[in-house]
Structure formats: C-alpha cells, structure tokens
Structure 1
Amino acid sequence: MKRNILPAIGLVVGVGLIISAMASNGELSRFFDGPSLIITLFGSFSALLISFPLNTLKKVPALLKMLMFTPDDDRQALIETITHLAKKSRTEGILAIENEIKELDNSVLVYGLEMVVDGTDIDTIDEILNVELEQTEDRHSIGQQVFLKWGEYAPAFGMIGTLIGLIAMLGDLQDPSLIGTGMATALLTTFYGSFLANMVFLPIAKNLEIQTANELKTNEMIIEGVLALQRGDNPRIIEQKLQSFLSQSDQKKKEAKTAVSVTEEFAG
C-alpha cells in the first residue's frame, strides 16, 4: 500500500478557498448554523440508513482508508514476475514454481498459479478467476454507490432545510427587519448540502471508481498471464502480450529502461 496525500491536499485547498471567500464577505460566524448543518449532514445520513444495509455502511471507514492508501499497483513488476515464472516452468517444469508462489503477495496471482500447479484445466481457471473478478467489482461498486447516493442526498436535504427556514420566516413577517437574516439562515442549508456533495462525497466516489478500474485492469492482466502460462505459451510472447496492459507512460519507461540496459551491456 502507498500513502496517497492528494485527496487530503485537495480537501484542504478547497476548504481553504471557500473559507477565504467567506471571510472576505464578513464574519465567518454568519456562515455557521448548527440546526442547518444537522439537517443537511445527519438528514442525508439518515437517508443512507434507509438505502443501504447496516453491514454495507460499516465499511465506510475502510473505504475512507482506501482513499488515503492506494494499492501498490506495479504492473511492470507483475509482468516481470509472470515472465520469470513462465521461463522457469518452461525449462524446469510447472512444479518448479511452486515454492516461488508462496513468496508472492498478490492474492489473485497466487490463486491462479496454484490452480495451474494443481493441474486445473484452463477453462475452469478462466471461469473461476473471472468470477473472482466480478466479485471484486461488486464489492468495490457498493462503496462507490454509498458516496454517490450521499452526494445526491446532501443537496436535497439542504433544500429541505432551506424550505423549512423559509416557511418559518414567511409565517412571521411582523418585523420586516428580520427578513434578511432569516433568508440568509435559510439558505445556509443549501450551501452546506452543495459543499458536502461537491467537496467531499462525490470526489470520494470518483476516487474509488478510478481505483476500482485500475485494480480490475491489473487483475485482467494477471488472468491473461496465468492462462497463457497454463497454455505453455512462449515466455517472450507472454511478456509482449501483457505489455499491452501498461499505460503509455509505463511503456515509455520500459523502453527507456531496456535501451539503457542494452547500452550498458555493449559498453561492458
């Protein structure tokens, strides 16, 4: 796992800009109202309690941890590992890689290679690993849905709070001097709802979506490598096939690294 400080930086910068804009328009205390915040935050959370099972909501702290710690998704290292194992199995036999499998830390790769060593047929391996891929996607999509829904509910409850404030204000118009203050207080819930949705909940959902897409792409690459190894494909062909899963920047780094290695070899 690698620490990811960008979400924290983005949140601090975003909140800082909003507070700066608020401070330039008067006292900050004018922008705080306890009941408005309670209606927006806890009201939207109450809607989540209705929308999702409790077991799903219990996973929210773990999802927030994923936001700050991203998986070490080094596809190039995985390609090198799979290629190495393919070469060894081709020269020494498939059982020769059994001990090395135990040292790997990628659960999908370990699971697939164990089935290869056990002699499981390729169709069964393909089916089992793809089911595992679908289960991973389902687990991650639940987290995305929680924050997407929270991002939808927060502005809605902000509007509800505004309507409550306006009804209370319009119900008592005996003192016209209080209309401005009442209107400002009523609009605070709309502000809180928009802020929480667009600064917190929706960005978290997008971050989790991107992490899921990256993990699924990596797992697809691993499955392709495991199946190629089971078929007994040439290690060089396996490596070239898996290279297609790398991003353009990673491919350029690979090419640069290869060029440096060739230069050093000739120089030596």
Structure 2
Amino acid sequence: MDKISIIAIIGGFSAIIAGQAMEGGSVGSLLQLTAFMIVIGGTLSAVMLQSTPKQFMTGLRMMRWVVAPPAFNHESMIREVINWSQSARRGGLLSLEGFVNMQRDPFTRKALQMLVDGGEPDTLRSVMEVEITMFEHARRQAAKIWESAGGYSPTMGILGAVLGLIHVMENLTDPSKLGAGIAVAFVATVYGVGAANLLFLPIGNKLKNIISGEVAMKELVVEGIVAIANGENPRIIETRLRGFLAMHE
C-alpha cells in the first residue's frame, strides 16, 4: 500500500474544501452534477477517442498502482541471479533448467530458458532488449491516457464555463435562473483544472515512475543472464548488477 499517495489525494482535496470554507463559501456549492458530467464525461470521451481499446483498458487497470503499486525487489533478484551464476559455474548451463519453471515472470522465464538452450550472449541481449522495448512502449502508451486526460480536462472545464454563461445569457430576464448558470460556469472550471493537477497529471507521472522500475528489473535480469552466458565470476556479476542498480535509482 502506497500511503503517501493516499495522503496526497486526501490532502489535496481537503485543502481545496478547507480553503472554500475559510473564505466563507459553502462546501455544497462545489458539488455540481452538471459541471461534473461536462468535465469528466468530455475528458473521458476525448481520451477514449485517441486511444485503442487495449491501451484505454490497460491504462484504467494501471490506476490501482497509485495506491497499490507492484513490488520490485531488486535485491532479491540480484541474489537470485548470483544463485544462478554459482549453479552454472558448478554444473554448467544445463544445471539451470530446474530454475526455469520456478520463474513466475514470463520475461525472466524466457531469458533463462534461452540461456539454458545455449544462446550466445549477444543474441540473448538483442532478443531480450527488443522485448523490453516493446514492453515499455505498450506500458507507456497505456499510462499516457492519464497525461492526455490532464491536457483535456482544463479545456473541458472552460467548455463547461462557456455553456454555463450561455445559460446565464439566455435567462437574463429571469434572475432566479442566473445563479445556477453562473455556478456551473465557475465550478466546471474548478473541476477541470483541479482534476488535471490533483489527479490526472500526478497519476500519469506516478505510473511512468513505476514503469521505469519494471523496466529496470527486466534490464537487471538481462545484464545478469548475459554475464552468466559470458562465464563471468559470480562476485564480478554481483558487483556489476549493484552498479547497474545504483545507476537506475
């Protein structure tokens, strides 16, 4: 559980509500269903239009990572790679066959299987780097829907404000209807700008950081497996991997 994300979300909205109350405004005046529908509905539609179904659905599923990110234990992976290298040093590459089916990550399992099958170091690196590139591209395209939402949301807020003002202009002769139109106009702007800067853009950046962690883990595996294929000493491999990890922290 990512507690800092939960604190940040609650803190951001609480600050806005508290500020409204301190200025003597009614908190209820910030609750406008019409403005919400215009901003959130319009933003959602724009993001769906620019995305493929797979990108859109993957991006939505990734939202849970904001509060429950996937765990990356780089230290554990380094220890596992060292274990592989020691086993290969004692019994050859075929001794690693028993480790292949123990891997839950498909990428690690594939890389280890290629090593057991006697893949050349350069071939191993080139094949797995292509997989990493494709994986990263797909992940970043899915996460990009949140950055796009952060771009569209303020514009939808302005659109809501214009629609609210149109409603005001249409009812200048009926003062009882002016308040509702003005409220929609200003609250829509608050929703658009607030959603972009408190939710959509921060979520997009958070997901990009998590994706970088995923990619670093996969690159760590490739570095270790290529080093094993080159027959390097386990202590040298450990030093290399720790240096690689330090570069990506």
**Equivalent residue runs for 1:1-268 within 5 Å:** 3-24=1-22, 25-174=24-173, 182-247=181-246
What is the CA-CA distance between 1:204 and the residue it aligns to?
Answer: 0.8
1:181 to partner: Cα distance = 6.4
Aligned-partner Cα distance in 2 for 1:213–1:55? 20
The superposition leaves residues 94-148 of structure 1 with CA deviations (integer Å, 9 ceiling, x where unpaired) of: 1112113322334332221111111122222112101110111012112221001
In structure 1, stretches of 5+ residues that fail to align are 251-268
- Scaled by the length of structure 1, the TM-score of the pair is 0.84
**Which structure: larger Rg?**
1
> Aligned with 1:103: secondary structure?
coil
- How many Å separate the matches in 1 of 2:101 and 2:53? 36
Rate the CA distance shift 1:182–1:71 in 2: closer, same or farther, 3 A.
Answer: closer
Partner of 1:266: none
Amino acid in structure 1 at the alignment position of 2:26:
E
1:57 and 1:104 mapped to 2: Cα distance? Answer: 29
- How far off is 1:159 after superposition? 0.2
Which deviates the most, 7-16 or 59-68? 59-68
> Partners in 2 of 1:184 and 1:141 — Cα distance?
37
Q: Which moved more, 1:165-174 or 1:177-186?
A: 177-186
1:157 positional shift: 0.5
Paired with 2:98 and 2:177, the residues of 1 have a C-alpha distance of: 78
4+ runs of 1 displaced by more than 4 Å?
175-182
1:93 Cα offset (Å):
1.4
Q: Output the amino acid matched with 1:134.
A: T
- What secondary structure, in the 3-state scheme, does the structure 2 residue paired with 1:142 have? helix
The answer to whether the Cα contact below 8 Å between 2:160 and 2:184 also exists between their aligned partners in 1 is no
Q: Give, in whole Å, the separation in 1 of the partners of 2:50 and 2:130.
A: 27
1:177 Cα deviation from its structure 2 partner: 8.8
| RMSD across aligned positions (CA) | 2.2
Partner Cα separation in structure 2 for residue 89 and residue 14 of structure 1: 53
Secondary structure, counterpart of 1:233 in structure 2: coil
